[in-house]
Amino acid sequence: MSTVVSFDASKRKNRSDALNELTALVQDDLHAVNEVILQRMQSPVALIPQLAGHLIAAGGKRLRPVLTLAAARLCGYDGARHRKLAACVEFIHTATLLHDDVVDDSNLRRGEPAANTLFGNKPTVLVGDFLFSRAFQLMTEDGSLDVLRILSNASAIIAEGEVLQITTTNDIRTSEQAYLEVIRAKTAELFAAACRIGAVVANRPSPEEEALRTFGLNLGLAFQMIDDVLDYSAEQARLGKSIGDDFREGKITLPVILAYNRGGEAERFFWRRTLEDLEQQDGDLEKAIDLLTKSQALKDAADRAKHYGAIARDALGLFPEHPIKSALLSVVDFTLEREY
Amino acid sequence: MSTVVSFDASKRKNRSDALNELTALVQDDLHAVNEVILQRMQSPVALIPQLAGHLIAAGGKRLRPVLTLAAARLCGYDGARHRKLAACVEFIHTATLLHDDVVDDSNLRRGEPAANTLFGNKPTVLVGDFLFSRAFQLMTEDGSLDVLRILSNASAIIAEGEVLQITTTNDIRTSEQAYLEVIRAKTAELFAAACRIGAVVANRPSPEEEALRTFGLNLGLAFQMIDDVLDYSAEQARLGKSIGDDFREGKITLPVILAYNRGGEAERFFWRRTLEDLEQQDGDLEKAIDLLTKSQALKDAADRAKHYGAIARDALGLFPEHPIKSALLSVVDFTLEREY
């Protein structure tokens, strides 16, 4: 089970399709989660649902809550507690997105103006706090100290990761290890927690909880790495997707780290100018993509992601055959197969 | 017991002295709390203790954790759980201060540059998130769902209050009721929670928990109202304290609400110009103080505070004589007696 994927060109599925299949398997639960989300983001202070709704209702993929729902069902859980907890996970995720948007410059999120550009920094921060508090209220209502421990730990780690990222932003000499630590903290730990609490509500023994944690953590790492590759993908651009956000912000991601390490003086100068000094001109993004392609940095970054994907796949080996297991494996596969 | 204070001019004590007396009674506990705070604000990410320390180590009065310690001891608690929980309360308070500082303009806090002006908005927000998460980790370690419920509710209410305040800032027609709701949410609910969890760790019956909640809530209201009065106090200015912060920011506090309601057209124009339009010139603060004094707004706002002080005092009637009870009553008295 340690092989990952053999690219089958006849498959026209992509990551979104695989996610949709998984989502379809927990459709009823997800509707209930959306109800909880809409209900619990309400407040007598009208600006709160207004601002939160800008992001929450805008309908992300609900990937993290879907993972919680799927993990619980995979563990044979047949109750309803996981719905409230899936909503917690989404609230925590949304709170971190809102706080992540608080920057000095205006910004976009999912192609839309970020909340802070529409509502200002301060309301954005405070509504994030509200959602975060609401998540802990929901967890407390559920009453599982294990869940509280898992999600409060994840929240602290996310905040640490975000701060760590600030201190590495625009430093082109960021090590691959430092990059890994940032994406683990910022992205993968919440994936891990989301999956793990599925086993906790199902009251499964520790090995299954650990297996789901392993699955989530490594899926999260692979997911983020591929996202970072796709931001430089000519193929994505060809498909009409917006690319180059990381480049414009000077974010130091794995492809760039690899290209810098492999580059000569002129190339390193280019990366310093564009990503450290943020002195960018027309054609620089194209040149960046060219350097990343020639140095194999994009391909190798995607290969690194496959390593984590393989770990995620293997983690599910503990579970018997189940439609949800197959769908989760598909999510791993199609996360990694996407073209770049 | 419903009378409040008779001002005794011979007493040279003030609010700080009364707080110091209370603090002295829980000195050992407070040292332990400071240890927990210093230990648990650490992180491998150096910027976190650096930024958090700017505010935490700068040594506020630790009023809220002292209330938790005092309430627990008043309830006869002789364990150590309250120390960790007092640290939680301080972390939540600090997180809200950090987030409160995130504004578009530079700002001061306790006469020092606010964290965001030194470190930027984003790290300030994220370190707030870290402290907030850390607070929930500490609570989870303690394991009381009652405490978790109380503090997650308080946190959600604080965030709601902060958002509500944004929507009322610079609106001179803010009602006294809206003002009350804001200070209750922003200040008094955390005071209430801090006191209440003292009874919870001591495992006291509900009436004592409710009495301490009542005490904390009403002390918090009185405390904030008096703070709002003192910001216009000529006497404070004479003592070398900085005043006029609320005026410069256009914060609509009780004294101003009363003065506006009582004023004629010219006075209302003055308040609109200075607080709504923030068009301020030399001499405006002095004129504001003059209007607030002539209209009795300062005196009456302080009288309103006495009402809440009286409720706080009465709430302690349930408890037998105890040095901590006397010290808490002194805090109420000297909060209200301070000159303005």
| Nearest beta carbon to residue A121 from set B121, B132, B148 | B121
Judged by CB atoms closer than 8 Å, whether chains meet at B145 and A149 is answered as no
What does the alpha-carbon distance between residue A332 and residue A329 come to, in Å, rounded to a whole number? 5
What does the alpha-carbon distance between residue B145 and residue B124 come to, in Å, rounded to a whole number? 29
Residue B43 contacts A, CB cutoff 8 Å: yes
pLDDT value of residue A242: 83
> Which residue did the predictor score with more confidence, A88 or B57?
A88
What does the alpha-carbon distance between residue B283 and residue A280 come to, in Å, rounded to a whole number? 49
Judged by CB atoms closer than 8 Å, whether chains meet at A104 and B120 is answered as yes
Q: Which CATH architecture has domain B15-332?
A: Orthogonal Bundle (1.10)
pLDDT value of residue B13: 67
- For residue A207 the two structure tokens come to 């090995």
Q: How far is B116 from chain A (nearest CA, A)?
A: 11
Fold adopted by A15-337:
Farnesyl Diphosphate Synthase (1.10.600)
| Nearest beta carbon to residue A163 from set B47, B99, B148 | B47
The DSSP H or E segment spanning A87 is helix A81-100
How many CB pairs below 8 A link A and B? 145
Interface probe for A, chosen from B47, B92, B136 (most Cβ of A below 10 Å), is B136
First CA to last CA across chain A, in angstroms?
25
Give helix then strand counts, H and E, for chain A. Answer: 18, 2
Strand partners, B12: none
What does the alpha-carbon distance between residue A35 and residue A134 come to, in Å, rounded to a whole number? 15
Residue A159 contacts B, CB cutoff 8 Å: yes
**What burial class does residue B167 get, using C-beta atoms within 10 Å of its C-beta: 0-12 exposed, 13-18 middle, 19+ buried?**
middle
- pLDDT, tens only, B206-242: 999 999 999 999 999 999 999 999 999 988 888 778 8
Phi, psi of B46 (to 5 degrees): -60, -30
Q: Are B139 and B88 in contact (CB under 8 A)?
A: yes
- For residue B80 the two structure tokens come to 């150590």
- pLDDT, tens only, B36-64: 999 999 999 999 999 988 877 766 789 99
CA B168 vs. chain centroid, Å, equals 19
Judged by CB atoms closer than 8 Å, whether chains meet at A160 and B132 is answered as no
Phi, psi of B41 (to 5 degrees): -90, 0
Q: Are A165 and A186 in contact (CB under 8 A)?
A: yes
C-alpha pair distances (Å), B264 with each of B95, B219, B269, B273, B295:
41, 33, 9, 14, 11
Residue A158 contacts B, CB cutoff 8 Å: yes
**Residue in B262, B327, B322, B328 with CA at minimum distance from that of residue B292:** B262
Judged by CB atoms closer than 8 Å, whether chains meet at A126 and B47 is answered as no
pTM value is: 0.88
Judged by CB atoms closer than 8 Å, whether chains meet at A149 and B140 is answered as yes
What does the alpha-carbon distance between residue A101 and residue A160 come to, in Å, rounded to a whole number? 16
Interface probe for A, chosen from B43, B91, B147, B148 (most Cβ of A below 10 Å), is B148
pLDDT value of residue A112: 67
Interface of B with A in 162-181 (CB under 8 A): 162-164, 166-167
Q: Are A285 and A271 in contact (CB under 8 A)?
A: no
User: Taking CA atoms, what residue in A is nearest to B141?
Assistant: A149
Judged by CB atoms closer than 8 Å, whether chains meet at B121 and A133 is answered as no
> Are β-strands B112-113 and A112-113 bridged in parallel, bridged antiparallel, or unpaired?
unpaired
**Residue in B236, B188, B205 with CA at minimum distance from that of residue B339:** B236
- In the chain, the amino acid numbered A193 is A
Q: Are B22 and B327 in contact (CB under 8 A)?
A: yes
Q: Are B272 and B259 in contact (CB under 8 A)?
A: no
**Residue in A140, A171, A147 with CA at minimum distance from that of residue B153:** A140
Judged by CB atoms closer than 8 Å, whether chains meet at A130 and B163 is answered as yes
Interval B112-129 mean pLDDT:
86
Given a cut of 80, whether residue A12 has pLDDT beyond it is no
Phi, psi of B243 (to 5 degrees): -125, 175
- pLDDT, tens only, A124-145: 999 999 999 999 999 999 999 9
Q: B335: Cβ–Cβ under 8 A, 6 or more apart, which residues?
A: B15, B18, B219, B222, B223, B226, B305, B309
Interval B2-27 mean pLDDT:
69
**Residue in B52, B58, B50 with CA at minimum distance from that of residue B127:** B52
Q: How far is B50 from chain A (nearest CA, A)?
A: 12
Residue A42 contacts B, CB cutoff 8 Å: no
Side-chain half-sphere exposure of B52, counting CA atoms within 13 A: 29
Residue A96 contacts B, CB cutoff 8 Å: yes
- For residue A324 the two structure tokens come to 């949800």
Nearest 5 degrees, angle CA B244-CA B249-CA B254? 70
pLDDT value of residue B5: 44
User: Taking CA atoms, what residue in B is nearest to A99?
Assistant: B125
Interface probe for B, chosen from A93, A152, A155, A166 (most Cβ of B below 10 Å), is A152
Q: Are B202 and B77 in contact (CB under 8 A)?
A: yes
- pLDDT, tens only, A27-80: 999 999 999 999 999 999 999 999 988 877 756 789 999 999 999 999 999 999
Provide, as residue numbers in chain B, all residues whose Cβ is less than 8 Å from the Cβ of A45: 160, 163-164, 167
Provide, as residue numbers in chain B, all residues whose Cβ is less than 8 Å from the Cβ of A48: 160, 163
**Residue in B153, B186, B201, B150 with CA at minimum distance from that of residue B29:** B201
Q: How confident is the model at residue A223 (pLDDT cuts 50, 70, 90)?
A: very high
pLDDT value of residue A54: 83
Q: Are B93 and B119 in contact (CB under 8 A)?
A: no
Interface of A with B in 298-327 (CB under 8 A): none
Interface probe for B, chosen from A125, A142, A184 (most Cβ of B below 10 Å), is A125
C-alpha pair distances (Å), A19 with each of A22, A65, A70, A304:
5, 12, 11, 22
- pLDDT, tens only, A270-298: 999 999 999 999 999 999 999 999 999 99
| Nearest beta carbon to residue A132 from set B122, B132, B163 | B132
SS3 content of chain A, % helix, strand, coil (to 5): 75, 0, 25
Judged by CB atoms closer than 8 Å, whether chains meet at B133 and A158 is answered as yes
Q: Are B68 and B40 in contact (CB under 8 A)?
A: no
